[in-house]
Chain A
């Protein structure tokens, strides 16, 4: 197929990608948007397969069939609660593929006498660095989310070591430009960057995962764009930069939602650092915490007119979303207004709670984001917090010394009564006690999220 025709097809594919992402501006148009994106990809792949340079179709068919099978298997069998792990894994594959393509392109040119141009080599080096960081970093993120790897690795001088690794990788890049025929320089870039990716993600713990996944998402796009520079393929450059921009926007949103800078998140500094403040919270909780029962909470709902449910990662862990939906329907059946308030960093990835609630058939227009939810808490009779902690901690507002000071929170403490469903009084990710649990108008419903919700549903039914 003619080169200009191929490029025209890539342009059309890029337009379809943009229209596809545009469709995601609203849940109504989102399904069609995603299909447009997939159509763009299909077009790009088919046109590429018609390229006359391609002779080995056997290899390609093996690769395409194997990849499609594995991809479909993962996509169709994953549980919605495991979505963060899957996205992390896919990010990694994207980065890995970019590294391999850059490596293959390099292998093709170095056997040519004339030697490749410096711009090509710089792009290959960039692709090697970004792609390898994405690959190894994403695998660590995957292992952490799947809880194969527990705890966080942190040691003094880690930042310095990371900076040195990056410098060395860049140095190996310069070596590649100077001596492209040497087969080892590209792979030393990849090795150094892979170690860097490991060390970047290892210190990062649970609640900071949304930031890391968003950032790796961005990197996977940038790696594709860098490969596009190497191949001078505008399809790759456009698609890659769209994804790069998308990931960066999400990273920014997540950081703002925690009132922390990206460097602060990446250095893994939170809460625990101020160990003095991170007491067990006994002096706060002592004698003030009121443990409640499902029956007592059901009585509260009896006289309530407006209930706001605040889900957190605990709801995902307990797989309680369906029980939450049942409770929501039950209360609505009694004429109670029920809404959900979603904190941007609730869960382990951006939008995690929304997907779980959508899976349980909760209509998306019941889900209110932070800015829209907060003004309504003073008019709320019961705020029901399920497995959330730091994102509802009033210390963010009231204690300037707190590690989460200034973080935007859901102001559930302004509701008439607060019910907190939680296993125990153990601190959240920030490692600090939560005065909300000891407040006069707070009732604690201790237990597993799902069981507590099932009990609550039964009690509400009985109270009728």
Chain B
């Protein structure tokens, strides 16, 4: 139960930080914000790596491998496409 309360504390505080930080993002960057935050939600990858790598059972390894692939697409694709978009934003010369 104590572990749950600690997790909950982290969760609630992080939501507040998220609200504070993200309300400052201007509308012009809303698409990169979505793709970039999407890449961050690929953090599940670290859970997937442990599941796939510990070779606990065939089932957990197979699920883990599928998760690693999905999450890596999300992470690599997300950060790359965000970079591609952001590099296009220019001020007037």
Contacts and interface: CB of A to CB of B under 8 A. Distances in A.
A119 B91 CA distance: 50
A110 to B, nearest CB: 10
Nearest to A57: B53
A56 B52 contact: yes
Nearest to B36: A34
Contacts of A367: 28
A38 B86 contact: no
8 contacts: A21-B25, A51-B53, A56-B53, A63-B69, A103-B63, A108-B54, A351-B29, A364-B28
Contacts of A45: 45-46, 49
A231 B28 CA distance: 36
A234 interface: yes
Q: Is the interface of B mostly helix, strand, loop or mixed?
A: helix
Query: Which of B24, B85, B92: most chain A Cβ within 10 A?
Result: B85
Contact of B76 (A31, A72, A227): A72
A52 B68 CA distance: 18
Q: Is the interface of A mostly helix, strand, loop or mixed?
A: helix
A351 B40 contact: no
A20 B4 contact: no
The 8 closest A-B pairs by CB, nearest first: A67-B72, A245-B18, A351-B30, A71-B77, A63-B68, A54-B53, A71-B76, A350-B30
Interface residues of B, number: 82
Contacts of B48: 63, 97, 100-101, 104
Contact of A18 (B17, B52, B66): B17
Interface string A354-391: 11001101011111010000000000000000000000
Nearest to A122: B4
A261 interface: no
A18 B37 CA distance: 10
Contacts of B89: 27, 30, 358, 364
Interface in A312-362: 342, 344, 349-352, 354-355, 358-359, 361
Interface in A40-80: 41, 44-45, 48-49, 51, 53-57, 59-60, 62-64, 66-68, 70-72, 74-76, 78, 80
A134 B11 CA distance: 20
Contact of A227 (B4, B17, B44, B85): B44
A363 to B, nearest CB: 4
B29 A30 contact: yes
B14 A31 contact: no
A236 interface: yes
Interface of B: 1, 3-4, 7, 10-11, 14-15, 17-19, 21-57, 59-61, 63-93
A463 interface: no
A297 B7 CA distance: 62
B41 A224 contact: yes
Given A24-B29, A100-B64, A359 B88 contact: yes
Contact of A41 (B37, B40, B86): B40
Contacts of B93: 363
Given A104-B67, A111-B57, A240-B43, 4 more contacts: A20-B36, A26-B26, A107-B56, A355-B85
Interface stretch (A83-91, A265-273, A287-295): A83-91
Nearest to A55: B55
Given A27-B89, A94-B42, A355-B32, A245 B22 contact: yes
B76 to A, nearest CB: 4
